[in-house]
Structure 1
Amino acid sequence: MGQLDGITVIDLSLFLPGPMATMMMADQGAEVIKIEPAAGDPARQMAPEEADQSVWFRNLNRGKKSIVLDLKSEAGKLRLRELVAKVDVFVEGFRPGVMKRLGFDYDAVSAINPAIVYCSISAFGQEGAMAHHPAHDLAVQALTGFLSVNDGADGTPVVPGVPSADMAAGLTALSAILMALIGREKSGRGDYIDATMFEAMLPWCAHIAGGAIAGGEPPRSQSQRSLGGAAFYNVYATKDGRHVALGAREMKFVQNLLIALDRTDLIPLGEAEAGEPQAELRVFLAQTFATKTRDEWVEWFADKDVAFSPVLDFREALASDLVAERGLLVEADGAHQIAPAIRFKHTPGRPIGPAPELDEHG
């Protein structure tokens, strides 16, 4: 059924990073046992709902089993110890110190099952001055520097549209878990993973913050090629108040577009430094894109070899031909779900189904 058939996972995580990581394992055949408090994962209550389940919860917890345990009770602790003895992976996302107080930190769990791969997901790690500092995605993006370049034209940071720190943590945790499982095949021994949102997010700045990494100045959006300072890597308003994006870096795309627009005189500006040196080119493109509607530009660009895209909202994106062609939005059991991003030729994975009801497998 999937690459992870035979792998069993205990998942005590809530909300986004941990559930995303374990869902990707469940999609590939792992048996994921979601341990929930009596009230359930708070994501169960997040609107909107479809087919009597939260869309958020279903899209991050499909294919899992749900068991409610009170880990402050002896009965709950005993049941979890019994499960721990039989599983391959243990994932938790509590604040540092909680699992130790409950009696299920790595030392305690590995004493029961030395082969277990144990992953803790937190904002800033299990030790250190920031370990107990509360934070969700926005705060982590602020502290990594990313929020400083998620700014408008006036330089004021705005709330990001993507929970990148959460997603980076989930992907990094998944990668580490799979690495540890491969390593266990060689050593027979499990391992402990201290996965943090902060550390997962920080390496994503390598392409924009080279100067700061080397000890120099931080990037500023208006003068950085990937952040709005380049004319051909930018967003432009159209006549109908919508937007289009140019996502080109290569000069061939600059040439193709400016030749088509009969402004070959501006081609050298495409090679200029980002920021003020490209200002004239940015102004020209802004004025040009304002002369047609977004959809008129889509039609105009159809036969042009230029890295161009209309800016779609999520409803438009999910209804697009590309999503349909790739089968990325699946309707099952009366509800819609986004299909797995990881696909294998010979192991298609588990069919998409519902998320478990609370304590369905208790």
Structure 2
Amino acid sequence: MKLSGIRVLDLSSYIPGPYLTMAMADHGATVVKVEAPGGDHTRHIGLKDGPDTVYFRNFNRGKHSIVLNLKDTADHAAFLRLADEADVLVESNRPGVAARLGIDHATLAARNPRLITCAISAFGQDGPRSGRAAHDLALEALTGVLGANQGNDGQPAMPALPLSDYLSALNGLSAVLMALYARERTGRGDFIDISMQEALLSATANVLGPTLAESRQPVIGHERTTGGAAFYRWYACSDGEKLALAGQEPKFIAALLGHLGRSELVPLCDAPGPHQQPVVDTLAAFFASHTLAEAGALLDRIDVCWGRVNTYPQALEDEQIAARGFVLTDDLGRRHLGPPIRFADEPARVTLRAPALGEHQDLARKGW
């Protein structure tokens, strides 16, 4: 596997760090999860469907677990021994905590110059807000994402995904892999500073046109991907099902409106905005008079970009997901999401088991 032989110390919890390190474990890295006495918080959050909570196993499969109190002299020494031979350390403490514990990058790199440290924090390692705690909802609020994610009443809607968590994890993974690649040339590790706020704000690039060009807030309901386009919104079908049109390319617009005998409406779709309402009304009336199966068959036949509005259970049972074997089942009959990174050579070999708390404690005594 691509990362066989890479040693990772994981001091993180919740989503960003564990998602990053799980991806590395899926592709062959040896990941040692260092847990405080009492264990990772997510061992105690949410439903259990076996020895672990679903939350914990979804982010910690294939890892090793040791328990260390880093304020204890012997445990601190054990951690330093592991860090001396590690390739990567991932941590998600507030800035300054690692230094107070004597495990900051400067200290560890003085002993192990090849070490790569990835620190994921809400706001980054410096700046006026660096020491402040924050989870995803606060960051979605601060970046403008929550305010732009509006319901029909014009008020912010609760986000269905913790976007800053996943975006910071993926940026962190990219950075770690870049640093590993660079180390092949330089022999030196590096320190990576990932701000969840910045990771999320960077992902707004496609909707910031009005702000960057004209220093104004986008009119959310009028913009191309947030409600101002007839071919980028959901519609209700006659059987209570819903579908989303999701392609604004001229070929999709011309194909459907031409089929409906309303080609004169095509020019309205050149730009987003309330002037597209006649197109919205036409499409809404069409879908309201057809079942999802009928509408879907037509959209497939004329090659229009669309998707059924699924529930999560329906999403896991989707024929495309099934055909690619993305949902995996372990020996206990529990379902897991597979790795989204697929290599033709050296594919991932996923271990569908999360470690028991302190299961690999010998590593603290014997090392890697």
Q: Does 256-265 or 162-171 show the bigger shift?
A: 256-265
- Is 1:283 the counterpart of 2:285? The answer is no
CA distance in 2, matches of 1:155, 1:357: 46
Q: Sort the Cα spacing of 1:150 and 1:60 in 2 relative to 1 into closer, same or farther, 3 A.
A: same
Q: Give the superposition deviation at 1:339.
A: 0.6
Which residue of structure 1 aligns with residue 87 of structure 2?
Answer: 88
Which residue does 1:264 correspond to in 2? 263
In 2: Cα distance, 1:128 partner to 1:320 partner: 45
How far does the alpha carbon of each residue in 1:8-46 deviate from its partner, in whole angstroms, 9 at most, with x for none? 000000000000000000011000000001111111122
- Normalization by structure 2: what TM-score? 0.95
Match of 2:222 in 1: 223
Residue pair 2:299, 2:305 contacting (<8 A) in 1 also: no
Alignment correspondent of 2:113: 114
Q: Residues 215 and 74 of structure 1: is their aligned pair in 2 closer, same or farther, counting only changes over 3 Å?
A: farther
Please list, as runs of the form range in 1=range in 2, the aligned pairs for 1:238-253 lying within 5 A after superposition: 238-253=237-252
Query: For 1:38 and 1:127, how far apart are their aligned partners in 2?
Result: 29
Amino acid at match of 1:101: R
TM-superposed CA distance for 1:133, in Å, is 1.6
1-side partners of 2:219 and 2:51: how far apart? Answer: 46
Say if 1:339 and 1:352, in contact at 8 Å, map to a contact too. Answer: no
Deviating beyond 4 angstroms after TM superposition, the runs of 4 or more aligned structure 1 residues are none
Q: Deviation of residue 215 (structure 1)?
A: 4.7
For 2:365, the equivalent position in structure 1 comes to none
Task: Tell me the alpha carbon deviations over residues 259-293 of structure 1, each in whole angstroms, 9 at most, x when there is no partner.
Answer: 2222222222222x211121111122122222233
Aligned to 1:30: 29
Matches within 5 A, 1:1-362: 2-271=1-270, 273-334=271-332, 335-362=334-361
Offset of 1:327 from its aligned partner? 0.7
Cα distance in 1 for partners of 2:331, 2:122 equals 35
Is the partner of 1:138 in helix, strand or coil?
helix
Cα offset, 1:75, TM superposition:
1.4
Q: Tell me if the contact between 1:59 and 1:337 (Cα under 8 Å) persists in the aligned partners.
A: yes
Aligned to 2:366: none
Displacement of 1:239 in angstroms is: 2.6
User: By how many angstroms is 1:300 displaced?
Assistant: 3.6
Separation in structure 1 between the aligned mates of residue 78 and residue 292 of structure 2, nearest angstrom = 58
Counterpart CA distance in 2 for 1:229 and 1:95 is 40
In structure 2, distance between residues paired with 1:328 and 1:25: 17
Structure 1 Cα separation of the partners of residues 297 and 330 of structure 2 = 34
Unaligned runs of 5+ in 1: none
Residue identity in the other structure for 2:305: A
Matched length: 360
Secondary structure of 1:139's match?
helix
Counting aligned pairs with the same residue, the percent is: 43
Q: Secondary structure at the match of 1:195?
A: strand
How far does residue 72 in structure 1 lie from its aligned partner after superposition? 1.2
**8 Å CA contact 1:153, 1:222 repeated in 2:** no
SS at match of 2:71: coil
**Cα distance in structure 2, aligned partners of 1:220 and 1:348:** 45
- Please give the alpha-carbon distance, in whole angstroms, between the structure 1 residues aligned to 2:84 and 2:348: 26
Per-residue deviation, 1:61: 0.8
Decide which moves more: 202-211 or 77-86. 202-211
Instruction: Give SS of 1:297's match.
Output: helix
Give the distance between the partners of 2:67 and 2:28, measured in 1 at CA: 22
**Deviation (angstroms), 1:253:** 0.6
Q: Distance in 2 between matches of 1:213 and 1:54?
A: 43
State the Cα distance separating 1:309 from its structure 2 match.
1.2
Tell me if structure 2 keeps the 8 A contact 1:258–1:267: yes
* Secondary structure in structure 2 of the residue aligned to 1:323: helix
How far apart are the structure 2 equivalents of 1:350 and 1:66? 19
Distance 1:297 1:76 in 2: 63
- SS in structure 1 at match of 2:329: strand
SS of alignment partner, residue 301 of structure 2: coil
Moved more, 230-239 or 170-179: 230-239
TM-score by length of 1: 0.96
Provide the rounded CA distance (Å) in 2 between the counterparts of 1:99 and 1:356.
24
Gaps of at least 5 residues in structure 2 are 362-368
- RMSD value over aligned CA atoms? 1.3
C-alpha contact 2:47 2:53 (8 A) present in aligned 1: yes
